[in-house]
Amino acid sequence: MSRIKISFVKRSKVFIRLLIVALCVVLLTSLVGLVTSYNYPDQVVEEIPRASISQKIDLSYVVLVKKSLIYDNRTILQPGEAIYVKFLEGFNITYRLALSSSGELRRVDGSYEVYVNISSPVWSKKVVISSGDVRELLNNVENLYVNFTYLRDYISVIEKEVGSSRAYTVSVVFNARTNVELTNVSKSYTITSTSKLELYYDTGKPLIDVKTSTPETKYVDSLKQVKPTEVSLILVSMNIITYRLLTMLFSITSAGLLALTLIVVTQGRSGEKSPIILLESKYRDLIISGKLDQVKHVVAVVYVRDLKDLIKVATMRKKPIVKLSDDKTKFAVVDGDVVYVYHEATEKQ
């Protein structure tokens, strides 16, 4: 790993400081951007309505009773009034199919059925009263008369066959199953509705309970649309996934550039001294300065490759190291007739 030398180190300190600050700002901004992006979902699922259809069978009724003092000799009761079994003759029910849609109807067909269901804890019996095409009911008011006297006789006949009960429920049920097509949607929808009029009749009680239920059936056909979360960054709108990827790349790149800048800037600053200077200061007790004159009776001159080796020799032989005053990078140890020499310049070659 050779030293990285880039010419910008020669530039002004202000420039380098500005560069470091700018890289730190980019790094922090991109990291904060990356972290905060996880507070938002990757995508949002939206439901866009395509068609909505609602259907309802409207019911209303009046109660026909015998003349009596309790009813002030009236023969027709309105919903909500108390009905005494003793005076009850029947119900006059009016019903109508109401269909509405978000768009124009292209085709409507289907079937309807009206039936009476008589049930007791012991038995139950279903009697279909009418059925046909739903178009007959569509926006037309129809009438149905339920003869209570006839119903009681009918119940008596069945009870003779299967055994008597104390309480009965008589339900008049209106069912409609409608197939609908709209002009703006190439799809067929089937919608089913049920309305009821229910009588609770207990032979031990003088009154009859009547309840109606006319729920509206709604069908909403919608398209699920996945919308990726968008982020605006300096007038550029982008997908949040792309944004995260970009902020990650920005943060890593800026961290890399910051590292590079720090490496270049601190290259010559860390009080770096050559190993020779460091060794000199460490072993200053062993080193003396001087001039090496002609040494007589020299048998050998050993050129050591490293100053450490020379220090080793000096330590082992207990001799001082002579730092030659004429060449500051030349060191020698004189050990009798052998001279050990270290020369930095020679070593570098």
Interaction between residue 245 and other proteins (CB under 8 A): yes
Q: Is 235 in the site for other proteins (CB under 8 A)?
A: no
Reading the block at residue 297, the tokens are: 């009776």
Count of CB atoms within 10 A of residue 110's CB? 20
Among 3, 5, 13, 224, which residue interacts with other proteins (rule: CB under 8 A)? Answer: 3
Q: Is the dihedral of CA 16, 17, 20, 25 positive or negative?
A: negative
Give the range of 211-219, 246-254, 294-302, 329-337 binding other proteins by CB under 8 A. 246-254
- Residue 30 phi/psi, 5-degree rounding, is -70, -35
- Alpha-carbon distance of 149 to 90, in angstroms, equals 7
- The distance of closest approach from Cβ of residue 227 to other proteins in the complex, given in angstroms and rounded to an integer, is 20
The residue within the footprint of other proteins, chosen from 117, 212, 229, 267 (CB under 8 A), is 267
The sign one gets for the Cα dihedral 307, 308, 313, 319 is positive
Q: Which is nearer to other proteins, 37 or 101 (CB)?
A: 37
For position 27 contacting other proteins by CB under 8 A, the verdict is: yes
According to DSSP, the residues that pair with 49 across neighbouring strands are: 222
Listed ranges 9-17, 73-81, 138-146, 262-270: which one lies at the site for other proteins (CB under 8 A): 262-270
Angle separating helix axes 275-282 and 307-317, nearest 10 degrees: 20
* Contact call for residue 256 and other proteins (CB under 8 A): yes
- For residue 96, what are the β-bridge partners? 58
Question: Applying CB under 8 A, does 275 fall inside the site for other proteins?
Answer: yes
Site residues (CB under 8 A) for other proteins, limited to 44-63: none
Alpha helices in 266-338 (DSSP H): 275-282, 307-317
Binding site for other proteins (CB under 8 A): 1, 3, 27, 31, 34-35, 38, 244-245, 247-248, 251-252, 255-256, 258-263, 266-267, 269-270, 272, 275, 308
